[in-house]
Amino acid sequence: MKSGMGLEIGNLFSKLPDGKSGEVIETLLHQPGLTIERITSNGQVTPEGDWYDQDNDEWVLLVEGNGVIFYEDESEDTLIKGDYLLIPKHKKHRVIHTDANTLWLAIHIAGT
């Protein structure tokens, strides 16, 4: 949809996938050095033994639901609706819990 100024308008809650067949990651914006994703989870977790080890910082906001992020050093963060977190680049982590209908907003920031 276009704004009165001809700019693109979207809605984070529009046409949400149910995520029952697997986590759904949708890119909302991609520009050099910046990617914004909407992630819909429905109980999915990172497979045992797999780790995210990203080249960029990732800022995540838990919009709906609950989630638990586990780190290689065996610490963890439990996030509830409204919580946000900055995961530094190369901080190995995995998702070990999500509720049904969990919605994340993830912002990947290069060059930090």
Is the pTM of the predicted complex or chain greater than 0.85?
yes
Q: Looking at the domain that runs over 24-109, which CATH code has it been given?
A: 2.60.120.10
d(CA 87, CA 71): 10
pLDDT at 97: 97
Enumerate the domain spans of the chain.
24-109
Check residue 112 and give its pLDDT: 53
**C-alpha to C-alpha distances, 8 to 1, 20, 48, 56, 88, nearest whole angstrom:** 6, 29, 39, 26, 30
> What DSSP letter does each residue of 5-67 carry, written as one string?
TS-B---TTTT----TTS-EEEEEEEETTEEEEEEEESS--PPTT--B--SSEEEEEEEESEE
Give me the pLDDT at residue 38, please.
97
pLDDT of residue 105: 98
Sequential pLDDT tens for the chain (112 residues): 777 777 888 999 999 987 778 889 999 999 999 999 999 999 999 999 999 999 999 999 999 999 999 999 999 999 999 999 999 999 999 999 999 999 999 999 997 5
Cα three-residue angle 78-81-85, rounded to 5 degrees? 55
